[in-house]
Amino acid sequence: MNFQTILSSFKNQSTGTDAFKNLKNVCEQYLKQSSDLNEKAATYLIYGFARSYVILYEDEAVTTEFAQASKETLMNYMSHLNKALLTQDDSIILSALNQVSNDYMQSARVF
């Protein structure tokens, strides 16, 4: 398992809270077993987003549009991080982590 497989798995899931719950669980499992520090940093960031989504919306009724938009936002973050991770260049990876963090802070912060 690596970040790319986590991304692929999330991409192929539905748009509901269960997809975010599965993502959170897979990220947590990966964080416990991985030794790749760059992938762990990216995974931890995504884990935090998925965890927040589950906490906020697990027992709430959300519209299909909201769920789809949330998944698309997270997919964009994950895709950006994945592209950086594939370069294996620490400075590019750090830049991508910072960009995702900045984008999130300037967003509506739905998760």
Report the chain's mean pLDDT, rounded to a whole number: 98
Domain ranges of the chain: 3-8+15-105
Q: What is the mean pLDDT of residues 75-96?
A: 99
- What per-residue confidence (pLDDT) applies to 10? 99
Give whole-number Cα distances, 93 to 17, 43, 61, in Å.
28, 12, 36
Question: By the 8 A CB rule, do 55 and 78 touch?
Answer: no
Answer yes or no: pTM beyond 0.85.
yes
Summarised one tens digit per residue, pLDDT across range 1-36 is 999 999 999 999 999 999 999 999 999 999 999 999
**Is residue 63 very low, low, confident or very high in pLDDT (cuts 50, 70, 90)?**
very high
